Every structure is written in structure tokens, then in C-alpha cells.
Structure 1
Amino acid sequence: MNKLNNILKIIFIVTIIISCKTTVKTSHDEEERKPNIVFIVVDDLGYSDVGYMNQKEDIQTPNIDKLAKDGMVFTDAYAAAPVCSPTRASIITGKSPAALKLTCHIPGMGMEKYLKKLNTDKKLKEGFFIDHLLIDKISIADVLKQQGYTTGYIGKWHLGGGGSINTDDGIVNADYLPSNYGFDINIGGNAYGQPASYFSPYKNGNLKDGPDGEYLTDRLGDEAIQFIDKNKSKPFFLNLATYTVHTPLAAPVETLNKYNGNKYFAMIEKLDQNVGKVMQKLKESNLLENTIVIFYSDNGGLWGNLPLIGKKGTLNEGGIRVPMVVNWKGKIEKSSSCNTPITSVDFFPTLLQLVGVSTKDYTELEGQSLLPLLYGKSAFPKRSLYWHFPHHRNEGLSMGAAIRNGKWKYIYQFETQKEFLYNLEDDISEENNLVSKFPQQTKELSQELKQWQQKVKAEMPAINN
């Protein structure tokens, strides 16, 4: 009997050990299944400034084109603002620029000098906005860190205070660096809206100088590769925010020669090369099937955005519609396309759902998860997209607000009090103002836009005395 009991006891202990090992393995496997996230945010890349758009034949982007061929292209992707800082803040927080009180780019010359310059001889003063992202806002990096992710920020931040051109290193206030918003690593991110130099020495307090003449886009690409290599055995979130293709336009001589001195096209090729380097690193590390890659621009381009009109700084399509590709091997259908309008506030809830976190715990989010679209499902809520930009620009529709609902887009210009209504399905170039033809549609969109502005407590422009 004792012998039998001993045998049963041994069997019981072995069963427990096997069970524990299985439990540990399952837990480890679950952690491994959490997808890595590579979010590439390009600065000022226009809607048609990529090869797959077939609008500018001299643009060469084979790596970005492959990213699109192997993934999903969003034809109606928007930035939350027609300038950089607000869009970047909306990505980090999942909140609209109007709600964040950060509706304009943070001025390198400093707030006081900027407002004096922009308000001169204008009927309305620029709407109030702050010069940094508030520390108390929950960031997507904070949430991902709680889920076991290593978080890295490489490149342009531009959320860290005004007056960066008056510094020697781009640091206006160390409290407003990416490391205080949930990022474990910050390489190159500070208050700069554009680099002091595209060639080393960089005069960047968060980026060590390389050899003289080293090109910034290449350097940030190399830093991204090192980050992937160092963290490939665990979940990571890499936010690669290139300074390119923002001015001042500059590129290596050997690349310039290929484009007869066209600096912009040369910069795009260098961007493409480094996108290719990142994708090659993911492939070599056997991470492609467990990494979602998002390629996106922070606002419209400066150098023509065919077939759109307008450019960076305007509420026309050319100022806010941007190139966007999402790639995830084996999860997203190859060569697929999505024409559902989306915007940058959608990324936060998308990444939450991606890693299994409920959006119900984050009630201030203003966007929608894009996973149903990425997975090819039709269940996606009908909604309107909104823009509030109470700021002056010299060209195109600015100092105004806009709403898109389905095929309709309505713009109201504060300074002139003019209204614009476009049917984007028939008129992507916004050539035909339909306000007089569709007065009821105009009225409904105008009222909805005003209701949203009141909801988010949007700052309005005031009379300029």
C-alpha cells in the first residue's frame, strides 16, 4: 500500500511540474505573440511624393513602394493638422490638437516673436496655443511600457518648447523631452522643428555627432537598426520620426548628382533607402511576421501634392491628406487599399487594441481603432473628421476649420467668413465650391463642426486691435 501511495505521489508531483512548465511556456508564448511596432513618421512628405502614387515620375522610392505592395495603402489618410507639432501630439496622445490646445507648429523663433509677426496687419489674432505637450497627458508609449514593451524615440520630436533656434543644442526645457513621455530611449528628439544641420556636427543635444559629413537621415536609420537588434527578443515600439524631408533641403553630393541637383528628390531617395534598411533588418531578424510597420507623414507637402490643391499649412486637401501605408506580413492583405477617411488620432486606439488593451479605460481618446480596416472587415463606424486651425498662412485656405463626412468636405475661413463645400468623390482637387448648390448640406456640416469645436473647447481667434 505504501509503495502504491509513493507511486501515486510521484505521479502527482510530475504532473504538477509538467503543468507548471506548460503554464510558464504558454505565458512566454503569449508575450512573444505581442507584435512589435515600427511607426515611421516622415516630416512634410506630400501626398504624391512616393513612387506608388505615379504622380511624379522622377521620384524613386522602391522600398516604400514594396512596403505598399506587401501591405495596405490608405488613400484617404489625413493628418490632424496641416502643420507638424499638432499632428505629432495627436499621435502621442490620441487627442485632437484643439483639445490639446496645441493647434500650431511650435515656433522656433519663440512664441512672442512669432505672434507679433503673424498677427501684423490681420483682422483676427491667432488663436491661443501652447508651446509644448503637457506632461500630464497619457502617451501611447506610457501604455505600451505597461504592457512590457521597450519604447524608443528616434528623430524629430518638436513638442518641447518654443525658441529652439536660440539654443545651441535644441533643448529648450529638458522636462519636455520624449523620455518624460514614456520613451525608454530618446535619440535626436528635442524642441527642433528642423535640424540645425543635415550633416554632422548636428548641434543636437540628444544626438552624438558622427564623423564630419555624416548624413542625418542615414544616421537615424542606423540608430533604428541598432534599436531593433538590441531589442529583438522582446516586444518593442520604435517611433522613427525622420527630420527629412523638412527644409533646409540638403542631401549628399552623390545622391544630388543622380537628380541633376534636385535636393528634394535626393532627400526622398535617402529616406527610401533608410526605410529599406529598417525592413531588411526586420527580415534578417525573422521579425516581419511579428511586426506591424506604419509609414505616415505629419502633414501635406510643400512642393506640390497632385492631384490635390494646397500645401502644408492649408486646410485644402494638399495640406492635410498624406501618404500612409501599413504593412504586416501574413496579417494584412498584400496590395490592398482602403479609402475610408482616417486621421492621426486613430493610431492610439489602434495600438491599444493591437496589444489587447481595452479603450474603455482611456475615455479621452477621440479616434477609432483601425484594426477592422487593416483586417479587411467592413464593421467600421461612420463618422466625421474635424480640423481646427486658427492660424494665418500666406497661401491657400488657412485661419479656419474643416469637417469631412463621407464624400463631403466643408471649410469655414475665420478671417473672411467664407464657406466652402466640396464633393471629394467627384472633385478631389476642390475646384467647385458647392455652397450655393447645396445650402442644407452646408448648414448641417457647419452646425456639426461648431458643436465639435464647443465639445473640445477649441480656442477661437479674436479681433486684432
Structure 2
Amino acid sequence: MNTIHPWILAISLIGMAACSTSAIKQDKDLAPEKNNIVLIMVDDLGYSDVAYMHNKQGINTPNIDKLAQSGMVFTDAYAAAPVCSPTRASLMTGKYPATLKLTCHIPGMGMEKYLEKLSEGHSLKEAYFRDHLPMDEFTIAEALKEQGYSTGYIGKWHLGGAGSIYTEDGTINTAYHPDNQGFDINIGGNAYGQPKSYFDPYFNGTIQDRKEGEYLTDRLGDEAVQFIEQNQNQPFFLNLATYTVHTPLDAPEEIVEKYEGNKYFAMIEKLDQNVGKVMDKLEALNLLENTLVVFYSDNGGLWGNAPLKGIKGTLNEGGIRVPMIVSFHGKIKAGSQSATPVTTVDFFPTFLELAGGNPSLYPEVEGKSLLPLVYGKADFPERPIYWHFPHHRKEGLSMGAAIREGDWKLITSFETEEVFLYNLKDDLGEVNNLSDSFPDKKLALLAKLEAWQEEIDAEMPLKNDNE
């Protein structure tokens, strides 16, 4: 019988181990790289409130402009609602606010008082809506956790219950906070819709006060940078949701003086500085080439959105069309632009696909992945985009619903039963109501909108007997 000398066996085993190690290394090298995702969600930043749009004089946003030049600017990007909480819930779930039954901002004064106040003097009462993001909703953070991502939420959440003005620190129920919806850390997120203070002390139960007089936007920028540093060696999802530029308007005195007392412009500059802070950290850590960065606003601006009609709270373009940038060094063409209508529900499938997940496994998600569009590899199919906002606002056209398909947009008012039809390609300012001139188009879009409302069982306003 043949025998194997011990030294031959040892050499064989070493060789096998070396081959095995080489194979593992090769497999690792061939494995798809996990890309990081940074979403900067600004509060109440209007379509005209960034310098690269060239619509407002005096706006100073060099870092945001640089981000725009590095990637793709979306000229026809929309928020899922004309106010904040619904858009935030939509972003987390990939569902329309009407599907979630969370169609209005969650009131700091409490639900009962808010519904009574807003319904007063109208023929229709405010429709029902939830006061928090339900715990059984599956969020994009949870989906990315399944893909091996570290997840961080820094800033405004506003999905954590009603009645925050009666609290000492913005906490209604900690179970509703981001760290119970898929995020590893939560700094700043609770029931607050606006900060109790833009300066330390913050009176925020999820931010530990650090230095008296520190500015909140700077603090959140610092926390974002720290999260990136701590997670640079693993895939991460960072949602930096600034409280800026929501009221109360406030900024460091020296910046306000620079703008001759214009606190809003001063807040925008501080926002821009912290966008730059985040981008500088990504560059310093050599992460730009494997990090998708999205810059976005939760609804239209409150201080004018020229050339658009309307402001925050309205179904006109000024209430729902928002600035949006998508940047990914080496993968998205620098200086590119898209006029394709996109909206909040598209982020969930986009981020999931980028992380290596399969959006088709989540049939409840109502958006479409934007990756083919931003990579320039395929035409993005035309589809209708919907808004359902059965709520009164003092700012303009509200208490209604809308649909955009192609160049056409239709708005229907629940209160007055008026129908407005616009061709946005020819009439961006929504000046000419074409509903009488194009009755077939009006009826077709109205039928689609009503069919969608019925399909998702949208909450509708009821007659107000106490008018």
C-alpha cells in the first residue's frame, strides 16, 4: 500500500489552503460593491430658493450649486404633498400619503383642536388622517438594514404623534421615533414639526445639548459628518433632514447682518455651509465614487416660488414642485438635467435597487426606481403622478386633489367643485385654465384620478354640519 509522507501531506494542505484563500479573495473582489446613500431632505425649501435655478436675487448657495454641477438636476421634481409629514411618510415607505392615510402635517396643537379650527367656516370638514407613521409600515431604512446597511437619521422626523407644543422636549411616544423604524441612530427626530429653538439649548429629547448658543443646522451637520466617519468602512444610509428653513426664522446674528436682516436668506446660507461640510467629508474619505447623494425638499417654499404659482400648502406648482439634485461621481453625468416628472415614492425603489435589492419583491411600493433615468441607460416610462390633499389651508388652492401626466396637470377642488386643467409645458405659471377648451383631456384625467382614489380607498372630506 502506498503511504504519504507527513511532509508531503503538510505541503499539500498548505497549498490547498492558499488556493482556498485566493478563491475567497477573488470572490470578494468580484462581489458587487455596496454603495452608500446620503439623502439631504430640507424643510420648506422652495423651487426658487437655490442659486442654480437663477430665480431669486441674493440667494447664496455655492456648495449646493457645486453639487448640482456634479450630477443631475431635476426641473420637474415633486413632493408627495404640499406639507411636510405626508411627504416624509411617503419617502419612508414608498407609498402615496393617501395610501398611508397620512395626508396632512401632524399638528403640534393636537388633532382635535386642529381639525375643529381648520374646518370652521367651510362647507367641508377636514378628512381623517393619522397622527404618526404606523409601526407596521416597512420603511426604506428597514429594507436597507436587510441589505447590510448601517442607517442614521439626523434631524426632523415629524411622524411621532400630535401635540408636540405641549411637551418639554418634543416627545409624544418614543415608539414612534426613527430608531424604532429601522434607523440605528436618531439625533433630532421626534414629534416636532419645527424646532422649539434654533440655538442650544434645543429642548429636544433626542439631541443632547452641547454648547450654549450653538446653531442647530451646524449641529446636525456635525452629527452627519460624525456618522459618515464612523461608518466609512461599511455601506451606510444617512438621512440628514434639516429643520432649516422652516419657521421660526432664525440664524446667527453675523449671517443675518450680512443679508441686511433677511433671516431666510441667512438660513439658506447656513444650510449651504452644512451641505458643503457633508460633501467635503465624503471627498476627504474617498467616498464620492461609491456614494449616491440626493438633495431634496419636503414641499414647496413659503416665501414665493417664482415662476411657479402658489406656495407651501397649495396644489399649484409652487406648493409641490421642489428642487432636487442626484449626484454620483463617475456614474451620473455631471451637469446633466432631466425634465421627467418624479416624486417622493420613487426614492424607496431607487435606494433599494442601488443597495442590491429587488424592488419587485415589494409590490406595495408605488414608485419606480430612478436609476435607469439618472444613469441615462433607458427611457423612463410616462406615468401619472397623484396628490390627494383633503385639507384646508389659508395660502391658496387646497382641499382637493391633483394629477399630472405628461405635460398636463389637473386639479379638482373638493370645496368648490371647480376643475383646473393646465398644460405645464406652455403655461408653467398655471395662468390659463383649459378645462373648457379641452373637455376630453379634462374628463380623461379626472377619471384616472378618481379611479386611483377609489383603488386606494382615499379618505374624503365630509359635509360640515357646523359650518
| Counterpart residue number, 2:99 | 99
The CA deviation string for residues 296-321 of structure 1, in whole angstroms up to 9 with x for no partner, is 00000001101101000000000000
| Counterpart residue number, 1:20 | 20
Q: Distance in 2 between matches of 1:178 and 1:114?
A: 25
| Counterpart residue number, 1:255 | 255
The CA deviation string for residues 310-338 of structure 1, in whole angstroms up to 9 with x for no partner, is 00000000000000001111111000001
| Counterpart residue number, 1:287 | 287
The CA deviation string for residues 246-296 of structure 1, in whole angstroms up to 9 with x for no partner, is 000000011111100100000000000000000000011111111110000
| Counterpart residue number, 2:123 | 123
Mapping of residues 257-336 of structure 1, within 5 Å? 257-336=257-336
Task: Flag the 1:12–1:433 CA change in 2: closer, same or farther, 3 A.
Answer: farther
Mapping of residues 214-253 of structure 1, within 5 Å? 214-253=214-253
Shift of 1:25: 2.7
Q: Distance in 2 between matches of 1:99 and 1:174?
A: 24
Mapping of residues 407-446 of structure 1, within 5 Å? 407-446=407-446
Query: Which ranges of structure 2 fall in alignment gaps of 5 or more residues?
Result: none
Cα RMSD of the aligned pairs, angstroms, is 1.6
| Counterpart residue number, 2:177 | 177
| Counterpart residue number, 1:386 | 386
| Counterpart residue number, 2:147 | 147
Mapping of residues 192-207 of structure 1, within 5 Å? 192-207=192-207
Shift of 1:396: 1.9
Tell me the SS of whatever aligns to 1:409. Answer: strand
Q: Distance in 1 between matches of 2:447 and 2:114?
A: 32
Shift of 1:3: 8.0
Q: TM-score, normalised by structure 2?
A: 0.97
2:147 and 2:356 in contact (8 A); partners too: no
Shift of 1:397: 1.2
The CA deviation string for residues 151-209 of structure 1, in whole angstroms up to 9 with x for no partner, is 00000000000000000000001110001100000001000000000000000000011
Shift of 1:457: 0.9
Task: Flag the 1:353–1:320 CA change in 2: closer, same or farther, 3 A.
Answer: same
Q: Distance in 2 between matches of 1:152 and 1:44?
A: 22
Query: Which ranges of structure 1 fall in alignment gaps of 5 or more residues?
Result: none
Tell me the SS of whatever aligns to 1:203. Answer: coil
The CA deviation string for residues 31-60 of structure 1, in whole angstroms up to 9 with x for no partner, is 782001100000000001001001112000
Q: Distance in 2 between matches of 1:79 and 1:30?
A: 38
Task: Flag the 1:12–1:361 CA change in 2: closer, same or farther, 3 A.
Answer: farther
| Counterpart residue number, 1:190 | 190
Determine whether 1:111 maps to 2:95. Answer: no
Shift of 1:2: 5.5
The CA deviation string for residues 69-88 of structure 1, in whole angstroms up to 9 with x for no partner, is 01100110000000000000
1:32 and 1:234 in contact (8 A); partners too: no
Residue identity in the other structure for 1:350: T
Shift of 1:244: 0.2
Shift of 1:381: 1.7
1:299 and 1:322 in contact (8 A); partners too: yes
| Counterpart residue number, 1:460 | 460
| Counterpart residue number, 1:373 | 373
Tell me the SS of whatever aligns to 1:411. Answer: strand
Name whichever of 166-175 and 32-41 sits farther off: 32-41
1:46 and 1:299 in contact (8 A); partners too: yes
Shift of 1:379: 2.8
Shift of 1:18: 3.2
Q: Distance in 1 between matches of 2:16 and 2:57?
A: 66
Q: Distance in 2 between matches of 1:8 and 1:390?
A: 81
Q: Distance in 1 between matches of 2:28 and 2:227?
A: 22
Task: Flag the 1:164–1:439 CA change in 2: closer, same or farther, 3 A.
Answer: same
> How high is the sequence identity, in percent, across the aligned residues?
65
Q: Distance in 1 between matches of 2:156 and 2:17?
A: 50
Q: Distance in 1 between matches of 2:422 and 2:182?
A: 41
Q: Distance in 2 between matches of 1:137 and 1:195?
A: 26
2:312 and 2:395 in contact (8 A); partners too: no
Q: Distance in 2 between matches of 1:11 and 1:441?
A: 79
Shift of 1:211: 1.2
Q: Distance in 2 between matches of 1:280 and 1:320?
A: 30
State how many pairs are aligned: 465
Q: Distance in 1 between matches of 2:30 and 2:317?
A: 42
Name whichever of 373-382 and 144-153 sits farther off: 373-382
| Counterpart residue number, 1:63 | 63
1:32 and 1:235 in contact (8 A); partners too: no
Q: Distance in 2 between matches of 1:51 and 1:324?
A: 13
Tell me the SS of whatever aligns to 1:125. Answer: coil
Tell me the SS of whatever aligns to 2:409. Answer: strand
The CA deviation string for residues 84-128 of structure 1, in whole angstroms up to 9 with x for no partner, is 000000000001000000000000000011011100011000111
2:39 and 2:238 in contact (8 A); partners too: yes
Shift of 1:12: 5.2
Shift of 1:419: 0.2
Tell me the SS of whatever aligns to 1:462. Answer: coil
| Counterpart residue number, 1:209 | 209
Q: Distance in 2 between matches of 1:246 and 1:116?
A: 24
Task: Flag the 1:209–1:431 CA change in 2: closer, same or farther, 3 A.
Answer: same
| Counterpart residue number, 1:403 | 403
Task: Flag the 1:109–1:418 CA change in 2: closer, same or farther, 3 A.
Answer: same
Residue identity in the other structure for 1:355: A
